[in-house]
Amino acid sequence: MILTEKETNAIEDLKTQEQACIEKYTKYSNQAKDPVLKELFEEIARDEQKHFDSLDQVIKGKVPSVDCNDSKGKNYNPAATYDSLGNSEDKKADCYLATDCIGTEKLVQNCINF
């Protein structure tokens, strides 16, 4: 696979965004108080690493294998744990992390759909 300069630059930009997401979600995993949210951020960071690795393969001229029928989100049903935490400040902090994560994903998705 041979990419044009414009395609290469676009993919490099996407790699930069993916790297930022990996770092953000790893940091958020360390900051999250809720164990279920902590685990979710870890999983999202791993998924972002897979996206980064796929883009790196494309830059190297390889066609990565991808799972276009991913249904993890469809079947995701986390257990509520805030009743046991009881700290509303922890809940507010985790709410910020989750809200920022959703906003980041929407932003990155919009950049991919240009």
Mean pLDDT over residues 53-62, rounded?
90
The span from the CA of 36 to the CA of 43, in Å, is: 11
The span from the CA of 31 to the CA of 38, in Å, is: 8
Instruction: List Cβ neighbours of 16 (8 Å cut-off, separation of 6 or more).
Output: none
Q: How far is CA 82 from CA 37, 67, 104, in A?
A: 11, 33, 24
Provide the 8-state DSSP code for 51: H
Q: Is the pLDDT of residue 114 over 60?
A: no
Of 31-35, 46-50, 100-104, give the lowest mean pLDDT range.
100-104
Mean pLDDT over residues 69-96, rounded?
75
**Nearest alpha-carbon partner for 50 in 33, 34, 72, 28:** 72
| Rg of the chain, C-alpha, whole Å | 17
pLDDT at 39: 93
Could you tell me where the DSSP H helices lie in 32-87?
Answer: 35-59, 82-85
- pTM of the predicted model, to two decimals? 0.80
